[in-house]
Amino acid sequence: MKELRELVTEKLLPLVETPGRYIGQEWNSITKDPKETGLTVALAFPDTYEVGMSHLGIQLLYGLVNSIDGVACERVFAPWPDMEGLMRAQGVPLYSLESFTPIRAFDVVGFSLQYEMSYTNVLNMLNLSGIPLTREERGEEDPIVIAGGPGALSPEPMADFIDIFLLGDGEETMAYLVARLKELKTKGLSRKEKVISLVRGQRSFYAPGLYQVSYHPEGTIKGIHPKEAWAPEVLRSAVVKNLDKAYFPERPIVPFIKTVHDRITLEVMRGCTQGCRFCQAGMLKRPTRLRSVETLIKLAERCYENTGQEEISLTALSISDYPRLEDLLFQLQRRFNPRKVNISLPSLRVSDMLQRLPPFLSSVRKSGLTLAPEAASERLRKIISKDIKDEDLYKGVKEAFRLGWRLIKLYFMIGLPGERDEDIDSIADLSYKVSNIRREIDGAPGNVNITVAPFVPKAHTPFQWEPMVSLERMRAIRHRLKARIRHPRIKLKFHNLERSVLEGVFSRGDRRLGQVVRRAWELGCKFDSWEECFDFQKWLKAFEDTGIDMNFYLYRERDEEEKFPWDHISVGVNKEFLKSERARALSGITTPDCFTGECPDCGACPRSPSFQEAACSCP
């Protein structure tokens, strides 16, 4: 829309802090002719442009949907408060970056639910678009509002606001949805009829309006059942079977402004076989699927040719477990070192391979080496099934310091099941030992950054039955660590404890929490993952105003037979496996890596006797 673009660029952008967030037209962005478009899709990321454009999933879905004939896919991100204020004052609706089309004019608006604390931004973006917040309030002219990502697999807190949740791998569900909706658009169906036609026969599409929730008197779930006989009792997340053949964006958009991760991102593998009991992603993304070295080299070359970016990051839930990692790093460095392109890895798992990796890492510049022990004591690691050894950590750190690295970043969790005070003290002890390893190299202590995050029990994990530790206990742990870590070379950073409490509420929440999200948004909550915007007191008032007790979701231990708000959604991992893993955790027994050991029969892999085929698969 020419008029809207002129209004924004002439009257709004000169007054905002970062105008590059709102202009579009970046290198490799796609704008299609409206006359040749039969369906329009707005990909909505409920955070700033810098955060959203760093997310590989947005780049992937953007390229995938735009590769479909007759379908136009455009992007929209949450405007920062300065831009939002100007938009509301000037009556400017939320618009897409590609064509400056109001979001309400699209056929589909799809939200990526990556983090529980982005939920109020979803409501704010809907409101700024002029789209009614709830399913029941929307009319025939309103777009179909969908959502995907990890949040869609425990979706009930957002069920009031979403028409259809897409469960599992987006390459599967999104391609089907847009192709099917393009077909349905010509048939003169009502909005409700379109939703029914989209989900019927598709076990990976969840339309919450077609399901009824009942509760026991004490507040637990009695049942979640379909209102229609044809709708499945249990839905199943979609799985891309062959990652080598799956779509990958070879022409990613190159932003005008610096983003959180300003680089080429290559997904090396999907899934993880380590089985860490706290890790939701490790359960949701099963089974493990690999891309070949040959495919990754080809993708790296094409992405570099189409972007010219100076860093390539290899990502996976557990990149150290990629079986040909050293070969891949060698080949990438041979090709990209002469071009001064940095090859980087995310957080590494501590293993015997760690001491062999530093020579391959950050070949152009020495950045911090990031490791995630999660727990500092051997006893606690057995409870969470984090099978690592201190000696491997120390050997890897020593090799990194020897090669000129100056900073080691360590990530830990507090509040884990079975945690004791001595486990907290072990974090301080381990940090000092890591710093002192550098003394063996040149006599000076090494720089160590410690990041500590509260453990949040998540749906679909062996710890989904466990209570979260109290806010008072978290504060006591923080005080204890600060008292024990007093070293000029060791920096200690904590995640926001109050925000973690809210994450704990919504990570295992039910449909009743939708009214809390709405009330919090009405009170002004948005950008809750940003420190300068987060207001815990407003959230407490939202719970008070709605009469909902957050302690019900946080601090009680669930009975093993309790029905959860996500039990009607299967990610492949069966509940009996999760129960057995919980029992092993309470006994301090580690479960071996199923990539190299025996199959534990989690149900998500064809090796499992209890395996059930996913609803969709790549051709």
Q: Is residue 594 part of a domain?
A: no
Burial class (CB in 10 A: 0-12, 13-18, 19+), 587: exposed
CA distance 329 to 332: 5
Q: pLDDT band at 364, cuts 50/70/90?
A: very low
The CATH number covering residue 42 comes to 3.40.50.280
DSSP string, 464-511: TTSPPPPHHHHHHHHHHHHHH---TTEEEEE--HHHHHHHHHHHT--G
Which residues make Cβ contacts (< 8 Å) with residue 298, sequence separation at least 6? none
Mind listing the pLDDT tens digit for each residue in 141-169? Answer: 999 999 999 999 999 999 999 999 999 99
Task: HSE, CB side, 13 Å, CA atoms: give it for residue 392.
Answer: 16
Q: Is residue 57 part of a domain?
A: yes
Q: pLDDT band at 596, cuts 50/70/90?
A: confident
Contact between residue 144 and residue 209 where contact means Cβ atoms under 8 Å apart: no
Q: Is residue 254 part of a domain?
A: no
CA distance 358 to 373: 17
CA distance 62 to 283: 26
pLDDT at 350: 76
Residue 389 has pLDDT above 50, yes or no: yes
Mean pLDDT of 29-50: 95
Nearest to 176 by CA among 148, 151, 154, 156: 148
CA distance 312 to 266: 7
Nearest to 487 by CA among 535, 431, 411: 431
SS3 345: coil
Which two three-digit tokens encode residue 190?
Answer: 């009502």
Q: Is residue 77 part of a domain?
A: yes
Contact between residue 148 and residue 165 where contact means Cβ atoms under 8 Å apart: yes
CA distance 358 to 350: 12
Contact between residue 171 and residue 246 where contact means Cβ atoms under 8 Å apart: yes
Using omega within 30 degrees of 0 as the cis cutoff, is the peptide bond preceding 287 cis?
Answer: yes
Mind listing the pLDDT tens digit for each residue in 226-259? Answer: 999 999 999 999 999 999 999 999 999 999 999 9
Mind listing the pLDDT tens digit for each residue in 514-533? Answer: 999 999 999 999 999 999 99
Residue 25, phi-psi category: left (phi > 0), alpha (psi -120 to 50), beta (remainder)? left
Mind listing the pLDDT tens digit for each residue in 9-36? Answer: 999 999 999 999 999 999 999 999 988 8
Q: pTM, whole model, 2 decimals?
A: 0.95
Nearest to 374 by CA among 402, 393, 354: 393
CA torsion 305-310-314-317 (nearest 10°) is -120
Domain count, the chain: 1
Task: Give the residue with greater pLDDT, 352 vs 276.
Answer: 276
Q: pLDDT band at 370, cuts 50/70/90?
A: confident
Residues spanned by the domain of 69 = 2-232
Mind listing the pLDDT tens digit for each residue in 461-484? Answer: 999 999 999 999 999 999 999 999
Q: Is residue 570 part of a domain?
A: no
Q: Is residue 119 part of a domain?
A: yes
- What are the start-end ranges of the E strands in 334-467? 342-344, 369-374, 407-414, 447-454
CA distance 146 to 163: 6
Which residues make Cβ contacts (< 8 Å) with residue 275, sequence separation at least 6? 282, 385, 581, 591, 593, 594, 600, 602
Q: Is residue 440 part of a domain?
A: no
Q: Is residue 321 part of a domain?
A: no
CA distance 337 to 343: 9
Q: Taking the CB of residue 62, how many other CB atoms lie within 10 A of it? A: 23
* H or E stretch at 110: strand 108-112
